[in-house]
Structure 1
Amino acid sequence: MHWLWAIIVGLVLGVLARLILPGKHRIPLWLTALLGLIGGILGNAVAHWIGLGHTKGIDWVRHALQLGGAVLTIAVGTPLWARIRSSRKAT
């Protein structure tokens, strides 16, 4: 059941990241969820690294870092996806 929750959180983070980033993002929904999941894991790792992995109450800083990671992965992943798609069409 953890994997299902991870997919849902990844999708939410990915969609929020796409809303935050300006411009059009021509990536499929599955890639949005995957990049959001990777960004969430990255943000969670940073939170643990700086000592904010487990706190009492709502972990606002950890959630902000997860969203920041999702924004970063969407910002990097979108142009990579476009480059892969254009190179496939050229061949």
Structure 2
Amino acid sequence: MTALLLPARITMNDARATLAALQPQLQAATAPVLDASALAELDTAAIALLLECQRQARAAGKPLQLVGAPPKLAQLATLYGVGGLLGL
């Protein structure tokens, strides 16, 4: 298991750079785990980023697990109907 730590902030301003930083790690991991426990400031861009990570992992035939999701992330995912896709 390879834990990939998400930053404390993922907003519209940060999402593109965060995804660029995560992509090589996602590709290198055989069963990536995204650790969202440090995530304190987020908006809907965080949901989009996580869905893209999930898409990339599935395309590579890898399981992706999300752990340590803060309540706000789970609330946003539920609001947009993608909580199940993210395992929340």
Length-normalised TM-score, structure 2: 0.26
More strand by share: 2
Report which of the two structures shows the higher radius of gyration computed on alpha carbons. Answer: 1
